[in-house]
């Protein structure tokens, strides 16, 4: 960024902006912006790239446009140096640099926290702070403010820290964390679309990578803020005590999440039943597992529960699932003829497996009739169980009606004393 203006230089700049040469600079600047827009438009293609931090939803919405415009503006300023008095580009270059920083930070935060409402508040606040800093820098006020802040100091142990050092450390640390979030989101996207077919392993690798990068970025941020990292030994001991008492459940959930992903006992896409809730696993995070039922409801189950409680997994070793349905027929029905006909009828249902095929059993002599239980296997429980059971029941009912077999219903005889 260019050096700040003194009062005398600011006056000369205003005079230069009123000269005809400023119009030439404006024309060159317009050409730089138009060229940057065209390059970004061609590189992006006709359709916006979903989730892209470089391009965003629009041509000027991503990071690529302000960075390219900044490079072109710097090159144009260098080319015009000595030919024209530079006035417009002295203002434009810091503005484009600030715009690039804002767009980079906003795109990274949106990609890392897509569902957070706080990101919009941070975006607006950050934009105001950066633009205010640019105005103070160009008017020459910012260096004076920084000098005054450098005089406000205090000591932490043997380290002397000023307000200026703290603010510079916060800014540097924020930039480091933004870059770490960007890198982790980029690598996580590559991992989740990698060559391996096991989504759970890729998810575990992505979570581990994000934790490691955030830890390294946090260390750099603390170092940039002037905090002695040797003091983290005491902090680490305090955190260990906190985990041992108040945070043991949270720590157990995080450890259980990595154990689930490493052991592959449950994978994304498995059909499971835990604590009376049955559904398909849609996500396994470091703290909880999301299970989506057939009716659309979702259950957020702590990972510790997935480890310590019994979990029924219908997809662990074999996705085939045995289902049953029950029907009663009247006493006196010829079961030797009826049962094979019903088994053949059930086998015609498309989702019922042929091997192993359906079977019928006489399971009870009920009060009102003979109870028959039909067992059949399906290979795609993720497509629902109630619908295939309904199809089987309809086929059984249709066959019974065709054969004229009566389905008994409870009868009660009342006698007057």
Q: Assess if residue 40 is contained within a domain.
A: yes
Looking at the structure, do residues 277 and 233 belong to the same domain, yes or no?
A: yes
Looking at the structure, do residues 11 and 147 belong to the same domain, yes or no?
A: yes
Looking at the structure, do residues 342 and 378 belong to the same domain, yes or no?
A: yes
User: What gap in Å lies between CA 91 and CA 195, rounded to an integer?
Assistant: 48
Helix (H) or strand (E) holding 115: none
Residue carrying the six token digits 């820098």: 137
- pLDDT score of 346: 92
Residue ending a domain, choose from 132, 151, 170: 151
Per-residue pLDDT tens for 313-328? 877 666 788 889 999 9
| Domains identified in the chain, total number | 3
Residue carrying the six token digits 């160009």: 138
SS3 57: coil
Task: Using DSSP bridges, classify how beta strands 288-292 and 277-284 pair: parallel, antiparallel or unpaired.
Answer: antiparallel
Residue ending a domain, choose from 316, 345, 371: 316
Residue 189's pLDDT band, with cuts at 50, 70 and 90, is low
Looking at the structure, do residues 310 and 330 belong to the same domain, yes or no?
A: no
Q: Assess if residue 189 is contained within a domain.
A: no
Looking at the structure, do residues 35 and 96 belong to the same domain, yes or no?
A: yes
Looking at the structure, do residues 305 and 339 belong to the same domain, yes or no?
A: no
- pLDDT score of 318: 67
Task: Answer whether 392's CB lies under 8 Å from 325's CB.
Answer: yes
Residue 322 in tokens: 């045995």
19-28, 145-154, 162-171, 192-201: which has the minimum mean pLDDT? 192-201
Evaluate if residue 147 carries a pLDDT over 60.
yes
Q: Assess if residue 105 is contained within a domain.
A: yes
Task: Show the CA angle centred on residue 139, arms to residues 123 and 176, nearest 5°.
Answer: 35
Looking at the structure, do residues 312 and 337 belong to the same domain, yes or no?
A: no
Evaluate if residue 188 carries a pLDDT over 70.
no
C-alpha to C-alpha distances, 376 to 58, 93, 233, 324, 379, nearest whole angstrom: 54, 73, 61, 6, 10
Looking at the structure, do residues 283 and 359 belong to the same domain, yes or no?
A: no
More confident of the two residues 156 and 280: 280
Rounded to the nearest integer, the mean pLDDT of the chain is 75
Looking at the structure, do residues 248 and 146 belong to the same domain, yes or no?
A: no
45-49, 142-146, 151-155, 269-273: which has the minimum mean pLDDT? 45-49
SS3 content of the chain, % helix, strand, coil (to 5): 55, 15, 30
Q: Which range marks the domain in which residue 261 is found?
A: 228-316
Looking at the structure, do residues 80 and 98 belong to the same domain, yes or no?
A: yes
Q: Which of 23, 54, 28 is nearest to 41 (CA)?
A: 54
Handedness of CA 394, 400, 402, 408 (dihedral sign): negative
73-77, 191-195, 215-219, 237-241: which has the minimum mean pLDDT? 191-195
At 130, give phi and psi (nearest 5°).
-65, -45
C-alpha to C-alpha distances, 117 to 123, 174, 177, 283, nearest whole angstrom: 10, 19, 19, 22
> CATH number of the domain that 343 lies in?
3.30.70.100
In terms of C-beta distances under 8 Å and separation of at least 24 residues, what long-range contacts does 226-231 make, across chains too? Answer: 226/159, 226/161, 226/165, 226/166, 226/169, 227/169, 228/157, 228/159, 231/157
User: What gap in Å lies between CA 20 and CA 294, rounded to an integer?
Assistant: 71
- DSSP class per residue in 369-382: SEEEEEEEEES-GG
Q: Assess if residue 201 is contained within a domain.
A: no
User: What gap in Å lies between CA 32 and CA 279, rounded to an integer?
Assistant: 56
Per-residue pLDDT tens for 208-233? 777 777 777 777 766 665 566 665 55
Q: Assess if residue 341 is contained within a domain.
A: yes
Looking at the structure, do residues 33 and 147 belong to the same domain, yes or no?
A: yes
More confident of the two residues 143 and 53: 143
Neighbours of 24 (CB within 10 A): 14
Per-residue pLDDT tens for 386-415? 889 999 999 999 999 998 888 887 766 677
Residue 347's pLDDT band, with cuts at 50, 70 and 90, is very high
Handedness of CA 209, 213, 216, 218 (dihedral sign): negative
SS3 162: strand
User: What gap in Å lies between CA 324 and CA 378, rounded to an integer?
Assistant: 11
SS3 313: strand
Looking at the structure, do residues 105 and 232 belong to the same domain, yes or no?
A: no
Q: Assess if residue 311 is contained within a domain.
A: yes
- Radius of gyration over every alpha carbon of the chain, rounded to an integer in angstroms: 35
Residue ending a domain, choose from 94, 118, 151: 151
Q: Assess if residue 312 is contained within a domain.
A: yes
pTM attached to this predicted model: 0.41
Q: Assess if residue 269 is contained within a domain.
A: yes
- DSSP class per residue in 216-282: HHHHHHHHHTT--GGGHHHHHHHHHHHHHHTTHHHHHHHHHHHHHHHHTSS-TT-EEEETTEEEEEE
Residue 176 in tokens: 């480091």
Residue 372's pLDDT band, with cuts at 50, 70 and 90, is very high
Neighbours of 55 (CB within 10 A): 22
């Amino acid at each position: 960024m260019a050096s700040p203006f003194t009062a005398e230089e600011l006056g000369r700049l205003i005079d230069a902006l009123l000269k005809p040469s400023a119009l030439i600079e404006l024309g060159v600047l317009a050409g730089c912006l138009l060229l940057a827009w065209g390059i970004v438009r061609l590189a992006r293609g006709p359709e916006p790239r979903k989730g892209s931090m470089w391009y965003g939803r629009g041509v000027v919405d991503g990071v690529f446009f302000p960075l390219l415009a900044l490079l072109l503006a710097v090159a144009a300023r260098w080319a015009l140096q000595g030919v024209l008095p530079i006035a417009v580009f002295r203002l434009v270059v810091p503005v484009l640099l600030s715009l690039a920083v804002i767009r980079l930070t906003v795109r990274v935060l949106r990609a890392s926290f897509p569902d957070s409402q706080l990101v919009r508040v941070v975006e607006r606040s950050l934009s105001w702070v950066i633009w205010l800093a640019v105005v103070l820098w160009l008017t020459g006020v910012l260096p004076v403010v920084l000098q005054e802040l450098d005089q406000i100091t205090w000591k932490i142990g043997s380290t002397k820290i000023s307000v200026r050092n703290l603010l510079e450390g916060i800014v540097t640390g924020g930039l480091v964390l933004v870059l770490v979030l960007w890198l982790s989101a980029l690598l996580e996207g590559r991992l989740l679309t990698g060559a391996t077919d096991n989504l759970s392993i890729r998810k575990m690798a992505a979570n581990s990578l994000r934790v490691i990068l955030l830890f390294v970025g946090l260390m750099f941020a603390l170092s940039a803020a002037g905090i002695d990292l040797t003091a983290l030994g005491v902090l680490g001991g305090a955190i260990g005590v906190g985990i041992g008492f108040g945070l043991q459940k949270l720590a157990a959930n995080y450890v259980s999440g990595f154990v689930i992903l490493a052991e592959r006992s449950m994978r994304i896409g498995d059909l499971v039943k835990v604590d009376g809730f049955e559904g398909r696993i849609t996500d396994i995070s470091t703290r909880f597992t999301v299970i989506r039922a057939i009716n659309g409801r979702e259950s957020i189950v702590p990972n510790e529960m997935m480890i310590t409680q019994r979990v029924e997994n219908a997809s662990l070793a074999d996705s085939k699932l045995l289902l049953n349905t029950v029907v009663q027929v009247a006493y006196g029905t010829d079961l030797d003829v009826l049962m094979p006909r019903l088994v053949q009828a059930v086998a015609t249902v498309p989702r019922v497996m042929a091997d192993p095929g359906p079977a019928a059993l006489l399971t009870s002599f009920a009060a009102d009739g003979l109870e028959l239980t039909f067992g059949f296997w399906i290979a795609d429980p993720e497509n629902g169980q109630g619908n295939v059971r309904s199809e089987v029941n309809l086929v059984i009912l249709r066959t019974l009606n065709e054969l004229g077999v009566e389905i008994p219903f409870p009868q009660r005889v009342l006698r007057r004393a």
